[in-house]
Amino acid sequence: MSASTSESKKPPAEAEPLTLDTDLGWAIRMVSAAFRRVATDSVADLPGGARGYLVLVALAGGSEPPSQLALAKEVSLDRTVMTYLLDDLEAHDLVTRKPDPRDRRARQVLITDTGRARLAEVREKLGAAEARLLTDLDARDTEQLRTLLARVAQTAQREVIGPDETEC
């Protein structure tokens, strides 16, 4: 290994003393707790609260309706929990399920027009809550934070779902 390679792999913490405001774990914990506080009210009127919101977001952004199992994996929910959540969302006409034409044993999940309308309402409330949390960031910093967090979240999701769990 060359000197430049080993130097580039040194964690940045070695360059400065470790304090709470430079600790990733502390920062994630503080942001997560604050986000939960400000976001809880925004999604409270949805069946399943935050989980219901994530399901609606996943469905609204997708092109092909996912199976229940694929949706559960995408939003990192236990498939049994997903079934009960979808039952509740369907009872409120926010989603609908239909047999998958490629595999009649599987069910595809689709967001309804009512679900899209409710999602838009919740997104507006959630947007205001997020703006309060991100008040010290300008638009460019906010976009960069969202991009970087999404990349880290994708890595985290890959780490949580092992190779044995991804195959049906």
Q: Report residue 67: phi and psi, to 5°.
A: -75, 165
Mind listing the pLDDT tens digit for each residue in 42-68?
899 999 999 999 999 999 987 889 999
Residue found by looking up tokens 């044995």 in the block = 164
Whole-number mean pLDDT of the chain?
85
| Confidence at residue 9, expressed as pLDDT on a 0 to 100 scale | 53
Residue found by looking up tokens 């890959």 in the block = 158
User: Three-state SS across 48-109?
Assistant: CCHHHHHHHHHHHHCCCCCEHHHHHHHCCCCHHHHHHHHHHHHHCCCEEEEEECCEEEEEEE
Share of the chain above pLDDT 90, in %: 59
3-state SS assignment for residue 134: coil
Mind listing the pLDDT tens digit for each residue in 100-123?
888 888 899 999 999 999 999 999
The more confidently predicted of residues 104 and 85 is 85
How confident is residue 160, by pLDDT bands cut at 50, 70 and 90? confident
How confident is residue 156, by pLDDT bands cut at 50, 70 and 90? confident
| Confidence at residue 14, expressed as pLDDT on a 0 to 100 scale | 59
Nearest to 70, CA basis, from 102, 117, 118 = 102
Q: Answer yes or no: are the C-beta atoms of 86 and 68 closer than 8 Å.
A: yes
Residue 161 predicted with pLDDT over 80:
no
Residue 49 has a CB neighbour count (10 Å cut-off) of: 15
Residue 85 predicted with pLDDT over 90:
yes
How confident is residue 167, by pLDDT bands cut at 50, 70 and 90? very low
| Confidence at residue 54, expressed as pLDDT on a 0 to 100 scale | 93
